[in-house]
Amino acid sequence: MAEENQNLRTPIVCVMGHVDHGKTTLLDQIRGTAIVKGEAGAITQHIGATEVPIDVIVEKCGDKRLADKFIVPGLLFIDTPGHHAFTTLRSRGGSLADLAVVVVDINEGFKPQTIESLNILKRFKTPFIVVTNKIDRILGWKVHEGESFLSTYNKQTPEVQGLFEQKFYDVIGHLYEQGFSADRFDRVTDFQKTLGVIPISGLTGEGIPDVLMILLGLAQRFLESSLQYDINGPGVGTVLEVKDEKGLGTTIDVILYDGTLKKGDTVVIGRLGEPIVTKVRALLKPRELSEIRYESKFQPIQEVAAAAGVKISAPDIDDALAGAPIISATPETLDAVIEKVKSEIDDVQIQTDTDGVMIKADTIGSLEAMVHEFKKANIQIQKAEVGDITKRDIMEASTINDPKHSVILAFNIKVNPDAQEMLDETLDLRMFRNVRVFKNDVIYRILDEYQDFVKEQEEELE
Ligand code: GDP
C-alpha cells in the first residue's frame, strides 16, 4: 500500500460561504488541530495553506486503525477563506481546488454569498460538503468541545434537539431550492447523489472530526485519478498571493500541485503581457511556533513536492499575477513553458471588437468566473482584465456611445484615486459620457445591479 501511495498528492480544500458565517474560525480550528495534535514536527504549517496529515486526522477521529483505509496523505486547506481563493486556484478552464466546504450559519441560513459559492461549485463540478455552523449558539446547547457531531447531539435534551432539527432542516430546504438533494452526513449513503451536510461549531470544534473524515472519504471516492502526480516532473503551481515580506522583498505564495520545485530552479510566472522568467532564490516554509525566536518566521528548504503551499523569494516578481501559473523549466523546455504560461493568461483576458461592457476583477480566476456568468446572461463584453480601475479604463469607457456599454463592472477591486477623480469630473463637467461603475464582491449582485440599470435605460428611451 505504501508504494501505491507515493504519487498520490494531498487533496486541496477551499472553505467558502457568506461573510461572518465562520470560515476563518473553522480554518483556525483546523489549523489548531494540526498544531496541537501534531507533535514534534509531524505537522508543517505551510504558507497560504495548512496541511493536516492523515495520522493527525485519524487520531482526532479516535480510531488509528482507520489510517490504513486511506490512501491520500492528508488534506491541504487553503488559508484564505472565500471564493477569492477558490477562483484564484484555477487551472485552464477548471478549478484547482479538489474539494470545498461551504459554511452556512445555522441561525442565519442562506445569504447571497452562500448561493454564489454553490453556483461556482456547481459550475466547476467540485465535490463539496456543507457545514451548518454555530450549533453552539442554539438556545440551551451544551458544548462538548471537539467531539463528533453525533456524540454531542446525543447528549442534548430533546427540546434542544428539536430546536436544532428545525434550523437544520431549514438549511436542507434552502439547498433543495437550489437544486441539491441534501441530507445529514450520517444518513447519506451515496455522496455522489446526495450532498452531505455536517452540523458543526467552528468555535468549540464540535463536528470537526466528521468534517475531516467526510472530506477524506470524498477524496478517496471521487478523486483518486485526479490526485496522481509526477514527483520527478517540473514543479507546476498557482500563485495565490504576491506579498511584501520584511527582509525578503516581494515574495509569492504558491500552491504547488504537480512535480517538484527546487531552490535555484528557473521558473516561468504569469503576468500581464510577457511572462516573468526568473530563478528561485529561496523556498520558504514557516517555522514552527516553538522556533519563532529566530529572526525570520521562515525556514529555507531545498525542495518541495506537490501538493504543498510554499513561499518563494526570487528577483523580478513584483508584477506576478495572483491566480497565474508558475512552472519550472530547463533550458530545453523554457520556450515551450513561456508559451504555455502566456497562452493561459491570454485565454482569460478577452478582448473583442464588438461593442460591450468592460469587466475587471482581482484575479484571473474571478475574471473567468465573471465572464462566464455575464455571457450566460447574454451581456456583451468588450474587454475583460485583471486589476484595479485606472484612469485609462475610465477614458476608454467614456468613449463608448451606447450608455449601457459605457460601463465598468468590477469584482473585488478598487478604483484608483486619480481614476475616481476623473469619474467625478466626468459627472461635473460632462466632458465625457458618464461612465457607470458597478462594484461588488458578489458577482451576481453586480449582475443584478447592471441588469436593473439597463432596464432603466430602456424605459427612459421608450
Ligand atoms: P468569516 O467572515 O466567514 O470568516 O467569519 P468568522 O470566522 O470571522 O466568524 C464571524 C464571527 O462569528 C466571529 O465573531 C466568530 O467568533 C463567530 N463564530 C464563528 N464560528 C462560530 C461558532 O461556531 N460559534 C459561535 N458562537 N461563534 C462563531
Tell me the CA–centroid distance for residue 100 and ligand 1, in Å: 18
* Residue 398 pLDDT: 82
**Quick one: pLDDT band at residue 52, thresholds 50, 70, 90?**
confident
Q: Report the residue among 21, 25, 31 best suited for mutation to probe ligand 1: largest number of ligand atoms under 8 A from its CB.
A: 25
Residue type for position 318:
D
Q: Tell whether residue 21 is among the known ligand binding residues.
A: yes
* Highest mean pLDDT out of 5-14, 40-49, 412-421: 412-421
Ligand 1 closest atom vs CA 21? 3
* Residue 100 pLDDT: 95
* Residue 45 pLDDT: 47
- Determine which residue's CA is closest to atom 18 belonging to ligand 1: 22
334 has a pLDDT exceeding 90: yes
- By the 8 A CB rule, do 275 and 267 touch? no
**Between 65 and 216, whose confidence is greater?**
216
Tell me the CA–centroid distance for residue 25 and ligand 1, in Å: 5
- Determine which residue's CA is closest to atom 6 belonging to ligand 1: 22
* Residue 385 pLDDT: 87
2 has a pLDDT exceeding 60: no
* Highest mean pLDDT out of 24-33, 213-222, 282-291, 419-428: 213-222
**Quick one: pLDDT band at residue 104, thresholds 50, 70, 90?**
very high
Tell me the CA–centroid distance for residue 125 and ligand 1, in Å: 27
**Quick one: pLDDT band at residue 256, thresholds 50, 70, 90?**
very high
Tell me the CA–centroid distance for residue 127 and ligand 1, in Å: 24
CA atoms of 111 and 133, how far apart (whole Å): 14
**Between 461 and 14, whose confidence is greater?**
14
* pLDDT tens-digit readout, 400-459: 888 888 899 999 899 999 999 888 876 665 555 678 999 998 888 899 999 999 999 888
**Quick one: pLDDT band at residue 10, thresholds 50, 70, 90?**
very high
What does the pLDDT average to over 235-260?
Answer: 91
Ligand 1 closest atom vs CA 133? 23
Contacts of 393 (CB under 8 A, 6+ apart): 358, 360, 408, 419
**Between 160 and 30, whose confidence is greater?**
160
Q: Tell whether residue 17 is among the known ligand binding residues.
A: yes
Q: Tell whether residue 41 is among the known ligand binding residues.
A: no
* Residue 1 pLDDT: 37
- Determine which residue's CA is closest to atom 9 belonging to ligand 1: 22
Q: Tell whether residue 62 is among the known ligand binding residues.
A: no
The three three-digit cell numbers of residue 1, written as one number: 500500500
Element (DSSP H or E) covering residue 250: strand 249-258
Q: Tell whether residue 434 is among the known ligand binding residues.
A: no
Q: Tell whether residue 88 is among the known ligand binding residues.
A: no
What does the pLDDT average to over 26-42?
Answer: 62
**Between 315 and 86, whose confidence is greater?**
315
* Residue 42 pLDDT: 34
Q: Tell whether residue 82 is among the known ligand binding residues.
A: yes
Tell me the CA–centroid distance for residue 194 and ligand 1, in Å: 27
6 has a pLDDT exceeding 70: no
Element (DSSP H or E) covering residue 16: strand 12-17
Q: Tell whether residue 44 is among the known ligand binding residues.
A: no
Ligand 1 closest atom vs CA 25? 7
Q: What is the mean pLDDT of the chain?
A: 86
**Between 336 and 404, whose confidence is greater?**
336
The three three-digit cell numbers of residue 177, written as one number: 431550492
The beta-strand segments (E) located in 270-425 are 276-279, 282-286, 298-301, 303-305, 308-313, 325-329, 357-361, 381-386, 407-411
The pairs formed by 229-232 with CB atoms below 8 angstroms and a separation of 24 or more are 229/7, 229/8, 229/9, 229/257, 229/258, 229/259, 229/306, 229/307, 230/7, 230/258, 230/259, 231/6, 231/7, 231/259, 231/260, 231/305, 231/306, 232/259, 232/260
- Determine which residue's CA is closest to atom 2 belonging to ligand 1: 20
Ligand 1 closest atom vs CA 200? 23
Residue type for position 87:
T
**Quick one: pLDDT band at residue 64, thresholds 50, 70, 90?**
low
The three three-digit cell numbers of residue 266, written as one number: 528557473
What does the pLDDT average to over 7-31?
Answer: 90
DSSP state of 92: T
Residue type for position 346:
D
Q: C-alpha angle with apex 326: 118 to 297, nearest 5 degrees?
A: 90
* Residue 427 pLDDT: 63
Complex ipTM more than 0.95, yes or no: yes
Ligand 1 closest atom vs CA 202? 23
CA atoms of 97 and 227, how far apart (whole Å): 11
Q: Tell whether residue 46 is among the known ligand binding residues.
A: no
294 has a pLDDT exceeding 80: no
Q: Which residues line ligand 1 (CB under 6 A)?
A: 17, 19-25, 81, 133-134, 136-137, 201-203
What does the pLDDT average to over 377-393?
Answer: 89
Q: Tell whether residue 33 is among the known ligand binding residues.
A: no
Ligand 1 closest atom vs CA 19? 2
Tell me the CA–centroid distance for residue 143 and ligand 1, in Å: 16
**Quick one: pLDDT band at residue 293, thresholds 50, 70, 90?**
low
CA atoms of 3 and 245, how far apart (whole Å): 39
Tell me the CA–centroid distance for residue 197 and ligand 1, in Å: 18
What does the pLDDT average to over 86-90?
Answer: 77
Locus of grid cell 467625478: 424
Q: Report the residue among 16, 20, 111 best suited for mutation to probe ligand 1: largest number of ligand atoms under 8 A from its CB.
A: 20
What does the pLDDT average to over 146-160?
Answer: 97
* Residue 206 pLDDT: 97
9 has a pLDDT exceeding 60: yes
**Between 347 and 274, whose confidence is greater?**
274
What does the pLDDT average to over 129-134?
Answer: 98
Q: Which of 171, 165, 201, 28 is nearest to 108 (CA)?
A: 171
The three three-digit cell numbers of residue 322, written as one number: 495572483
* Highest mean pLDDT out of 97-111, 238-252, 436-450: 97-111
- Concatenated DSSP letters for 188-235? -S-TTTSEEEEE--TTT-TTHHHHHHHHHHHHHHH-GGGGB--TTSB-
- Determine which residue's CA is closest to atom 11 belonging to ligand 1: 20
Least confident residue range of 5-14, 292-301, 320-329 = 292-301
Tell me the CA–centroid distance for residue 358 and ligand 1, in Å: 36
What does the pLDDT average to over 385-401?
Answer: 87
Q: Report the residue among 203, 204, 206, 441 best suited for mutation to probe ligand 1: largest number of ligand atoms under 8 A from its CB.
A: 203
What does the pLDDT average to over 223-236?
Answer: 89
- Concatenated DSSP letters for 1-32? -HHHHTTBPPPEEEEEESTTSSHHHHHHHHHH
The three three-digit cell numbers of residue 102, written as one number: 461551504
| Helices vs strands, H then E, count in the chain | 13, 23
Which 3 state secondary structure label does DSSP give 323? coil
The three three-digit cell numbers of residue 337, written as one number: 513553458
- By the 8 A CB rule, do 50 and 76 touch? yes
Q: C-alpha angle with apex 126: 65 to 90, nearest 5 degrees?
A: 115
What does the pLDDT average to over 189-218?
Answer: 95
Least confident residue range of 161-170, 389-398, 419-428 = 419-428
